[in-house]
C-alpha cells in the first residue's frame, strides 16, 4: 500500500492512530487532489488494519488545522467540467464517510483554524476538541464566497444541530467562531488550553467510547427540532425564505438559496441521498458566475491588496508610534479611535480643549459599548482611552511621526493647520489629509515637505468601514506612499492606492450611481421603483436615501468646483440630467436632505426617516412611465463600471484588484459582482457582451453609457480586466 503523503499515519503501541494533516510544501492544508488521494488511501488502510486500530485522532502539523477547499481549483469549475467536479466532491464525501462509519472512535483535535472544508473534516469525526489558540476560527464561511459547504457540512450540521440552528448559526451567515464561542453554539464539544490537554481529551474520548458511532447512524435517530415532515415544524418553514430575502435584499446571491434547499431537502431523505443533494447544489454554485466573482474579490483580490501589491517595493516597513489627528469632528474622532485601538498614541487636536474632549468622548462611547457587549475588557478599554490625549495646544504634537488632518473641507484652513504643526511634529513626519474632495497636489503646496504629503481618505463611520483610499499627489514620494500603506495596515484596514484626481476613485464613482438614480426620478419613474431597483441590484443603501444622507447641497458644491476646473482647463461642461432634479429639489422645494429635515424622504423631528416625499409623484412622476427593471439596475451598475474604466484610462487607478476591493468595501458596489471591474469581466458574454449592452443603454439613455476606448479595445482583443 502506498503511504499517503498529505495525511501522515502515526500509530502508538496502544492502537491509537493519529492522522496528521500535513500537506508537504504547502503552508496550509487544502482539499486539493493530493489530499483527495491521501484520504482515499487512508480510508483503505484504516479498513484493512481495522483490527489493530483502537481509535483515531485527526489533527494537523500546520498552524491552521485545515484551510478548506482549494480556491484555485474551485474557481476553474465550469458548467462543462461540473460533472467531473461532482465526482470528486462525492469521492471525498464517500471517503470521509468510510472513516466515520469504521466502527472506531474518531476525534478531531482542532489545533488551529478549521474553516469550511477544515470544519467539515471535524464534523465527520465523532467528537471535536478545539485548542483555544489565539485568532483560531471555526465555522463554514462558504456563503461569503458564494458557495455552500460541499464536504458534508450541510448534511452533518443539520443532523447535529437541527435545521434551524444549522442554517442560522452556521450556514447562512458563515459566522466564524472563536473556539469558546464554537463550543457555546454546539459546533465543537470541548475546548482545551494547551495542545497537550487537547490530545489528552481526544484520547480520553477514545478510551470512553470504544465503538463510537455518529448520532445519525444510531437506530431511531431523529433530526433535532424536527423536519418538514412534522406539521409543527413545517408551519415554521415559511419564515426561512423571508429570512433569506432579508439577508440578500432580493439581490442575486444564489448561495443562501441553495443552502436552504440542500438543508431542507436533505433533511427528508437518508444520509447518503442527502450527501448527493448537497453535492449537486454545491457544484451548481461552483460552476456559476457569482461564486467566481466572490472568490476573485474576497479571496484573491483582497489578498493582493492587503499584501502590498500597490505598495512601492524596497521601502523598509515602518510603524507609527504617535499620531497627530487634527480636527476632532466626526472623522477625526473616528480616526483617533481606530489608531488608539491599534496601539498607537494619539494626540487629538481641535480649536478648543472642549471640542477635542468631545472628540475623545466618541471613543469613550464606543469603548463603553464594547465592554457592555463583552467584546473587550474594561482594562483594554481603559488602556485604549489612555492613549488618546485631547488638546488645543499645537505644542503637544511634539514627536508625532504622522499627522492626519480632518478639519473642515476648506483648503485655506487645511493650509493653515499644516503650517501650524509642520515644524512641531517630528522632522520627517508623514503628512496626511483626509480630504474627501480637494486635490492632494494643491493641498501639498501648503507644506514645505511636499514629498511627505499624501491623501488618506477614510470612510464614515471610521470604526466600522474597512477601507482607506490612499491618494498619491504629483509630488508624493514613494517613501511616503509606503509609510501611508503601512499605517493603514497597522490600524488593520485595507488600503487601496490611487493617483490624484478630483473625487479620487471612490467619490467620483459613487457620484455616478447617485446621479443615475436621481436622473430616473427626473425622467418620471416612480421613486419607489428606483429604490427597489437599487436594493435588488444588491446595493446596501437605496439610492435616494443615500442622496439624502449625503445632502443635496454636496453634489451642487462639487459640481460648481468641478465645472470651474473643467472650464478653466478649456473644456466644456456636460450637464448630467440629475442636476436639474437636484436644483429643483433645493431651490424650488427647499429639500436639502436628511440634515435639513426634508429631502427625497420626509423626516421626523429626530431625523428618523419617514416615507418618500409624496411631492415627488406630484412634481416628477409621469404615471405609467416605466422603463424595464433590468435597465434601471444596470444603469446604476454600468454608470459606475464605465467610469471606473475611464479612471484606468486616465491613470488614476492602476490596479484592477484595488478597483474591485475599493468599490465593494468603500462605496457599496454589490458584493455578488466581485467588484466593479469583475462585474465587467463576469457580465453575460464577457467584455463583448458588456460593450454591446453599454451601447444599447447609450442609445436609450444618453452618451454617458458609450463604452470607453480601453473597454472596446480589450473586448476586441478577447482580454479581461486583470489579465
- CA torsion angle for 195, 198, 202, 208 (degrees, to 10)? 130
Q: Least separation, in Å, of the C-beta of 468 and ligand NAI? A: 10
**CA atoms 371, 375, 377, 381: torsion sign:** negative
Specify the residue, 656 or 667, whose C-beta has the smaller distance to ligand NAI.
667
What radius of gyration do the chain's Cα atoms show? 28
DSSP notation for 639-708: HHHHHHHHHHHHTSB--HHHHHHHHHHHH---GGGTSHHHHHHHSTTHHHHHHHHHHHHHHHH-GGGSPP
Q: Take residue 567 and report the three cell numbers written for it.
A: 472650464
Q: Helices marked H in 49-108 — which ranges?
A: 71-74, 82-100
Q: Least separation, in Å, of the C-beta of 460 and ligand NAI? A: 3
Three-state SS for 471-519 is EECCCCCHHHHHHHHHHHHHCCCEEEEEECCCCCCHHHHHHHHHHHHHH
Enumerate residues 6+ apart whose C-beta is below 8 A from 307: none
Tell me if residue 345 falls in helix, strand or coil.
Answer: strand
Q: Least separation, in Å, of the C-beta of 602 and ligand NAI? A: 23
By CB under 6 A, residue 351 contacts ligand NAI: yes
Specify the residue, 21 or 665, whose C-beta has the smaller distance to ligand NAI.
665
Task: Determine contact, residues 208/59, Cβ cutoff 8 Å.
Answer: no
Task: Determine contact, residues 512/482, Cβ cutoff 8 Å.
Answer: no
Enumerate residues 6+ apart whose C-beta is below 8 A from 262: 148, 154, 155, 277, 278, 281, 282
Specify the residue, 267 or 436, whose C-beta has the smaller distance to ligand NAI.
436
For residue 47, indicate whether it is catalytic. Answer: no
Stretches 177-185, 233-241, 350-358, 491-499: which one binds ligand NAI (CB under 6 A)?
A: 350-358
Q: Which of 23, 190, 350, 658 binds ligand NAI (CB under 6 A)?
A: 350
Stretches 127-135, 290-298, 328-336, 620-628: which one binds ligand NAI (CB under 6 A)?
A: 328-336
Specify the residue, 414 or 693, whose C-beta has the smaller distance to ligand NAI.
414
By CB under 6 A, residue 329 contacts ligand NAI: yes
Distances (CA, A) of 624 to 235, 523, 525, 613, 627: 39, 12, 8, 19, 10
Nearest to 289 by CA among 83, 79, 149: 79
Please give the residue whose beta carbon sits closest to ligand NAI in the complex: 329
Specify the residue, 330 or 566, whose C-beta has the smaller distance to ligand NAI.
330
Ramachandran region of residue 191, left (φ > 0), alpha (ψ -120 to 50) or beta? beta
Q: Which of 194, 303, 460, 595 binds ligand NAI (CB under 6 A)?
A: 460
- CA angle at residue 330 from 326 to 335, to 5 degrees? 55
By CB under 6 A, residue 409 contacts ligand NAI: yes
Q: Least separation, in Å, of the C-beta of 44 and ligand NAI? A: 60
By CB under 6 A, residue 331 contacts ligand NAI: yes
Tell me the helix, strand and coil percentages in the chain, rounded to 5. Answer: 55, 10, 35
Q: Which of 407, 467, 470, 547 binds ligand NAI (CB under 6 A)?
A: 407
Task: Determine contact, residues 299/660, Cβ cutoff 8 Å.
Answer: no
By CB under 6 A, residue 239 contacts ligand NAI: no
By CB under 6 A, residue 419 contacts ligand NAI: no
Q: Which of 183, 203, 349, 472 binds ligand NAI (CB under 6 A)?
A: 349
By CB under 6 A, residue 413 contacts ligand NAI: yes
Q: Least separation, in Å, of the C-beta of 691 and ligand NAI? A: 34
Stretches 456-464, 509-517, 523-531, 551-559: which one binds ligand NAI (CB under 6 A)?
A: 456-464
Tell me if residue 58 falls in helix, strand or coil.
Answer: strand
Length of the chain: 723
**CA atoms 356, 339, 462, 368: torsion sign:** negative
By CB under 6 A, residue 357 contacts ligand NAI: no
- CA angle at residue 186 from 184 to 190, to 5 degrees? 75
Specify the residue, 339 or 381, whose C-beta has the smaller distance to ligand NAI.
339
Specify the residue, 74 or 488, whose C-beta has the smaller distance to ligand NAI.
488
Distances (CA, A) of 265 to 99, 278, 282, 286: 25, 9, 14, 19
Tell me if residue 265 falls in helix, strand or coil.
Answer: helix
Specify the residue, 15 or 461, whose C-beta has the smaller distance to ligand NAI.
461
Q: Which stretches of 350-443 are assigned E, i.e. beta strand?
A: 388-391, 402-405, 430-433
Q: Which of 330, 426, 451, 712 binds ligand NAI (CB under 6 A)?
A: 330
Q: Least separation, in Å, of the C-beta of 459 and ligand NAI? A: 6
Q: Least separation, in Å, of the C-beta of 306 and ligand NAI? A: 21
Specify the residue, 330 or 712, whose C-beta has the smaller distance to ligand NAI.
330
By CB under 6 A, residue 408 contacts ligand NAI: yes
Q: Which of 142, 284, 405, 634 is catalytic?
A: 142
Stretches 116-124, 429-437, 475-483, 521-529: which one binds ligand NAI (CB under 6 A)?
A: 429-437
Q: Which of 267, 435, 450, 592 binds ligand NAI (CB under 6 A)?
A: 435
Q: Which of 120, 526, 531, 579 is catalytic?
A: 120
Q: What is residue 2's DSSP assignment?
A: P
By CB under 6 A, residue 595 contacts ligand NAI: no
Task: Determine contact, residues 660/674, Cβ cutoff 8 Å.
Answer: yes
For residue 618, indicate whether it is catalytic. Answer: no
By CB under 6 A, residue 530 contacts ligand NAI: no
By CB under 6 A, residue 327 contacts ligand NAI: yes
Stretches 197-205, 402-410, 465-473, 595-603: which one binds ligand NAI (CB under 6 A)?
A: 402-410
Interface residues toward ligand NAI, by CB under 6 A: 326-332, 349-351, 355, 406-409, 413, 417, 434-436, 457-458, 460
Show which residues are catalytic: 120, 142
Amino acid at each position: 500500500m502506498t503511504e499517503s503523503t498529505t495525511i501522515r499515519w502515526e500509530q502508538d503501541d496502544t492502537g491509537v492512530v493519529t492522522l496528521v494533516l500535513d500537506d508537504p510544501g504547502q503552508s496550509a492544508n487544502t482539499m486539493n487532489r493530493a489530499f483527495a488521494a491521501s484520504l482515499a488511501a487512508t480510508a483503505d488502510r484504516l479498513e484493512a488494519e481495522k483490527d489493530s486500530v483502537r481509535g483515531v485522532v485527526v489533527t494537523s502539523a500546520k498552524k491552521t488545522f485545515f484551510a478548506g477547499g482549494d480556491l484555485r481549483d474551485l474557481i476553474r469549475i465550469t458548467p462543462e467540467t461540473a460533472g467531473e467536479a461532482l465526482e470528486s466532491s462525492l469521492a471525498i464525501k464517500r471517503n470521509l464517510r468510510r472513516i466515520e462509519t469504521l466502527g472506531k472512535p474518531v476525534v478531531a483535535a482542532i489545533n488551529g483554524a478549521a474553516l469550511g472544508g477544515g470544519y467539515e473534516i471535524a464534523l465527520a469525526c465523532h467528537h471535536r476538541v478545539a485548542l483555544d489558540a489565539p485568532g483560531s476560527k471555526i465555522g463554514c464561511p462558504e456563503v461569503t464566497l458564494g458557495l455552500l459547504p460541499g464536504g458534508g457540512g450541510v448534511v452533518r450540521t443539520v443532523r447535529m444541530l437541527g435545521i434551524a440552528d444549522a442554517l442560522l448559526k452556521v450556514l447562512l451567515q458563515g459566522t466564524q467562531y472563536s473556539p469558546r464561542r464554537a463550543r457555546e453554539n454546539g459546533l465543537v464539544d470541548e475546548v482545551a488550553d494547551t495542545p497537550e490537554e487537547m490530545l489528552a481529551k481526544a484520547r480520553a474520548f477514545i478510551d470512553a467510547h470504544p465503538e463510537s458511532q455518529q448520532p445519525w447512524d444510531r437506530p431511531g435517530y431523529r433530526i433535532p427540532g424536527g423536519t418538514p415532515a412534522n406539521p409543527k415544524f413545517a408551519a415554521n418553514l415559511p419564515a426561512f425564505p423571508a429570512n433569506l430575502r432579508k439577508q440578500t435584499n432580493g439581490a442575486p446571491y444564489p448561495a443562501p438559496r441553495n443552502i436552504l434547499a440542500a438543508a431542507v431537502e436533505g433533511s427528508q431523505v437518508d444520509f447518503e441521498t442527502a450527501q448527493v443533494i448537497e453535492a449537486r447544489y454545491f457544484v451548481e454554485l461552483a460552476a456559476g458566475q457569482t461564486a467566481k466573482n466572490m472568490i476573485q474579490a474576497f479571496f484573491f483580490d483582497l489578498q493582493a491588496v492587503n499584501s502590498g501589491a500597490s505598495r512601492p517595493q524596497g521601502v523598509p516597513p515602518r510603524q507609527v508610534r504617535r499620531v497627530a489627528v487634527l480636527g476632532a469632528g466626526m472623522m477625526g474622532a473616528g480616526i483617533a479611535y481606530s489608531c488608539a485601538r491599534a496601539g498607537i498614541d494619539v494626540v487629538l487636536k481641535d480649536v478648543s480643549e472642549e471640542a477635542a474632549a468631545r472628540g475623545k468622548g466618541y471613543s469613550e462611547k464606543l469603548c463603553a459599548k464594547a465592554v457592555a457587549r463583552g467584546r473587550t475588557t474594561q482594562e483594554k478599554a481603559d488602556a485604549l482611552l489612555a492613549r488618546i490625549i485631547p488638546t488645543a495646544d499645537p505644542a503637544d504634537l511634539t514627536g508625532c511621526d504622522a499627522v492626519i488632518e480632518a478639519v473642515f473641507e476648506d483648503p485655506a484652513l487645511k493650509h493653515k493647520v499644516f503650517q501650524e504643526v509642520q515644524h512641531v511634529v517630528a522632522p520627517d513626519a508623514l503628512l496626511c489629509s483626509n480630504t474627501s474632495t480637494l486635490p492632494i497636489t494643491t493641498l501639498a503646496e501648503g507644506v514645505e515637505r511636499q514629498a511627505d504629503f499624501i491623501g488618506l481618505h477614510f470612510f464614515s463611520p471610521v470604526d466600522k468601514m474597512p477601507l482607506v483610499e490612499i491618494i498619491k499627489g504629483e509630488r508624493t514620494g514613494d517613501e511616503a506612499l509606503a509609510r501611508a500603506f503601512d499605517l493603514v495596515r497597522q490600524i488593520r484596514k485595507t488600503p487601496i492606492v490611487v493617483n490624484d484626481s478630483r473625487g479620487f476613485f471612490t467619490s467620483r464613482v459613487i457620484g455616478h450611481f447617485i446621479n443615475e438614480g436621481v436622473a430616473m426620478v427626473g425622467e418620471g419613474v416612480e421613486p419607489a421603483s428606483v429604490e427597489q431597483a437599487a436594493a435588488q441590484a444588491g446595493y446596501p443603501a437605496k439610492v435616494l436615501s443615500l442622496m439624502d444622507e449625503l445632502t443635496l447641497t454636496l453634489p451642487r458644491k462639487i459640481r460648481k468646483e468641478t465645472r470651474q476646473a473643467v472650464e478653466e482647463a478649456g473644456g466644456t461642461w456636460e450637464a448630467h440630467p440629475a442636476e436639474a432634479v437636484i436644483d429643483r429639489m433645493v431651490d424650488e422645494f427647499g429639500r436639502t436632505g436628511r440634515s435639513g429635515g426634508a429631502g427625497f424622504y420626509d423626516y421626523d423631528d429626530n431625523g428618523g426617516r419617514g416615507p418618500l416625499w409624496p411631492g415627488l409623484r406630484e412634481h416628477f412622476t409621469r404615471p405609467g412611465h416605466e422603463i424595464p427593471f433590468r435597465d434601471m439596475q444596470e444603469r446604476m451598475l454600468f454608470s459606475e463600471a464605465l467610469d471606473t474604466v475611464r479612471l484606468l484610462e486616465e491613470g488614476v487607478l492602476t490596479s484592477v484588484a484595488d478597483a474591485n476591493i475599493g468599490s465593494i468595501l468603500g462605496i457599496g458596489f454589490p458584493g455578488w459582482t466581485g467588484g466593479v471591474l469583475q462585474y465587467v469581466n463576469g457580465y453575460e458574454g464577457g467584455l463583448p457582451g458588456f460593450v454591446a449592452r453599454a451601447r444599447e443603454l447609450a442609445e436609450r439613455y444618453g452618451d454617458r453609457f458609450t463604452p470607453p476606448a480601453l473597454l472596446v479595445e480589450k473586448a476586441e482583443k478577447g482580454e479581461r480586466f486583470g489579465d
